[in-house]
Structure 1
Amino acid sequence: MILPDGYSDVPAGKIAAVVTHLEMTARLALRPDPPGAWTLRRVETPGFDWFRDLYCRVGEKWLWFSRLRMADADLAAIIHSPQVEVYALVQDGRDEGLLELDFREPGQCELAFFGVTAKLIGSGAGSWLMNRALERAWSRQVARVWVHTCTLDHPSALAFYQRAGFRPFRRQVEVADDPRLDGTLPRSAARHVPMIE
């Protein structure tokens, strides 16, 4: 369905975001690694509690909610798939970043989830993690690596992906139940997005 030009109402209890999909169709030279004491740890079979905790610590401020609403079996079908790789960025022995690479679609890799905790934003950790993501994504026989971001995300996210070499190819509007109103996320999450009950 194509939305009409002009304003479209979003019902109370809902959130709306403009989603931009970006892709990279050739392996590019990586940007220089920023200085930092980070390591990358692959988590072969992520535990649900571990995954949801890190997912929240990285994404709560940006209203990441989709994985929190999944039943364990549905989440396991993704993060325990042999075609999905889950990594943690580690600083000082603590997991502070999440990277999920999804190779389930032949010939491509989706950066399904990518981000660092609030305390690492602006430290260079995101750039370092992107370099590791692209190294691993292009280590397989893929013709395309893609990611999406939205207007609920960090204000610099879209520019960050473009600096890494991704190019926009699609835009969508996503409407969903506000995850703060049903208890999926705390009401204090994403203060930059007003709740309309």
Structure 2
Amino acid sequence: MDSMIEVTTTHLQQLSASALVPSSRPLPARARIELVREITPEFSKFLYQGVGSEWNWADRLKLTRTQWDELMRTPGTETHVLYVNGAPGGYVELLARHADGGTEVEIMYFGLFPQCIGQGLGGALLTEGIARAWDLDTRCEGFAPVARVWVHTCSLDGPAAIANYEARGLSVFHTETEKLVPGDGAAGMWPGG
């Protein structure tokens, strides 16, 4: 039987594009970040598992291909991929929603593949992700100017997550703690773990 653990979820936001504090470490020449305009469910799931298997990301693993595809086709959804030496090294998934006072963009998923952690790439990827969140309305038809960018992270995520968000100018606006059974983000990744 799986055991419950206490998990703290922290919600952070940014209310102005001018609040973005860019990373002091630019991307190295061997890296680039690219918007994937027509992402497939297979590539999205590969990114999700490649990053999330270390951090118990399991909420999407039960989705069918059709359900996953519908999520990727939701108006205002974008995926920006970090490539390092030509291979995926991390990603940012954004989702815009209509809200009172303008559009709000949630950073749905953000992270690095295990081999890219500790190389100074996270700050540059997050900087780009937040910047693209702020101008998402210029690429997605039907959205008002962005008035808010926000994200939530939890105590199951990487230990540098909150510090990276705060270093980029996001501020905590809510925390909550609950007991839950964590999902197995590595389910189906590699035989025998």
Shorter-chain TM-score bucket reads: 0.7 to 0.9
Q: Distance in 1 between matches of 2:186 and 2:92?
A: 27
More strand by share: 2
Identity %: 28
Shift of 1:73: 2.6
Q: Deviations over 1:62-114 (max 9, x none)?
A: 11111212222322222122310112111111111111111133411111101
Say which is worse superposed, 167-176 or 126-135, in terms of deviation: 167-176
Aligned twin of 1:102:
95
- The 3-state SS of whatever aligns with 2:54 is helix
Q: Which residue of 2 aligns with 1:179?
A: 183
In structure 2, the gaps of 5 or more residues are 138-144
Which segments of 5 or more consecutive residues in structure 1 lack a partner in the other structure?
Answer: 1-10, 190-197
Q: 1:113 & 1:181 partners in 2: Cα distance?
A: 14
Relative to structure 1, the CA distance from residue 137 to residue 183 in structure 2 (aligned partners, 3 Å threshold; closer, same or farther) is closer
Does 1:169 pair with 2:169?
no
1:1-197 equivalent positions in 2, closer than 5 A: 12-27=2-17, 28=19, 29-36=21-28, 37-106=30-99, 107-139=103-135, 140=137, 141-180=145-184, 183=187
SS at match of 1:52: helix
Change (3 A) 1:80 1:124: same
8 Å CA contact 1:89–1:96 kept in 2: the answer is: yes
**Displacement of 1:174:** 4.7
* Partners of 2:106 and 2:151 within 8 A in 1: yes
After TM superposition, the score normalised by the length of structure 2 is: 0.81
**Corresponding letter in the other structure for 2:45:** R
Give the AA of the match of 1:31: S
Contact kept, 8 Å, 2:8 with 2:178, in 1: the verdict is: yes
RMSD of aligned alpha carbons = 2.5
Distance (whole Å) between structure 1 residues aligned to residue 46 and residue 110 of structure 2: 14
Aligned residues: 179
Q: Matched residue of 1:134: which SS? A: helix
Secondary structure at the aligned position of 2:12 is classed as: strand
Instruction: Return the alpha-carbon distance in structure 1 between the equivalents of residues 35 and 110 of structure 2.
Output: 14
Aligned-partner SS, 2:98: coil
CA contact (8 A) 2:92 2:107 kept: yes
